[in-house]
Amino acid sequence: MDDLRGVVAPLADLLLDSRERARAAALHRPADQDGYRVAHVGLRMLLGAYLGVEPSDVTLVRQPCPLCRAPHGRPGVPGVPLCFSLSRTDGLCLLAFAETAVGADVETLPASDVVAGLATMLHPEETAELAACPPDRRPAAFARVWTRKEAYLKGLGTGLARDLHLDRLGTCACGPCPVPGWAVHDVAVETGYAAAVAVAEE
């Protein structure tokens, strides 16, 4: 993503809408501002290609949240069946597109203290798996389960508003636990990151 900043800078003002430009400007770190612009310019260019319209003409909305009906659910384009999800972290961006609901997440491997602070929020079996994991492997195991879980919750449209105890995605390096109605897969990324995508089965 870092390599794209120089290319994206002149496109951002042309392609992003006023809300996206304001959100980018509100981020504190210049790296976060650049990362937001790269991710959203890329999203618009791919959506424009898929839909056969100019990237700047793509209208982005939020669907109602399944839990509270407020407009912070899955992103979408009005009147278009194409589903998509965007995630970004320092240095990487992940975009997913599907004909059914989809969620994607990419994360930098966390520090050990972050793992310790968040592990108890997960499904009890996931918490136990992390506790049994050797300390040097725990950040990678946590990142696997976290990206799987967040991709699934983004696909549902609830995000982290849904209780993290409810769903077991697992920490195992061999793959996620089955989730009824969904296909959840790890995404191959470079060392130091973890990523996953969840797609609703038809």
* Residue tagged 């992390």 (tokens): 130
**pLDDT block averages, 10 residues each, the chain of length 202:** 68 91 93 92 96 95 90 91 96 96 97 94 97 96 98 96 96 96 97 98 88
Are 74 and 44 spatial neighbours (Cβ–Cβ below 8 Å)? no
> What is the C-alpha separation between 49 and 36, in angstroms, rounded?
20
pTM: 0.93
Q: What is the pLDDT of residue 3?
A: 61
SS3 61: strand
Q: What is the pLDDT of residue 28?
A: 94
Please classify residue 193 by burial: count the beta carbons closer than 10 Å to its beta carbon, then call 0-12 exposed, 13-18 middle and 19+ buried.
buried
> What is the C-alpha separation between 86 and 78, in angstroms, rounded?
17
Q: With residue 199 as reference, give the H or E element that holds it.
A: strand 193-200
Q: What is the pLDDT of residue 29?
A: 93
The residues near 37 (Cβ < 8 Å, ≥ 6 apart) are: 5, 8, 9, 12, 16, 24
* DSSP string across 82-142: -EEEEEEETTEEEEEEESS-EEEEEEEPPPHHHHHHHGGGS-HHHHHHHHHS-GGGHHHHH
* Dihedral over alpha carbons 70, 102, 126, 160 (to 10 degrees): -20
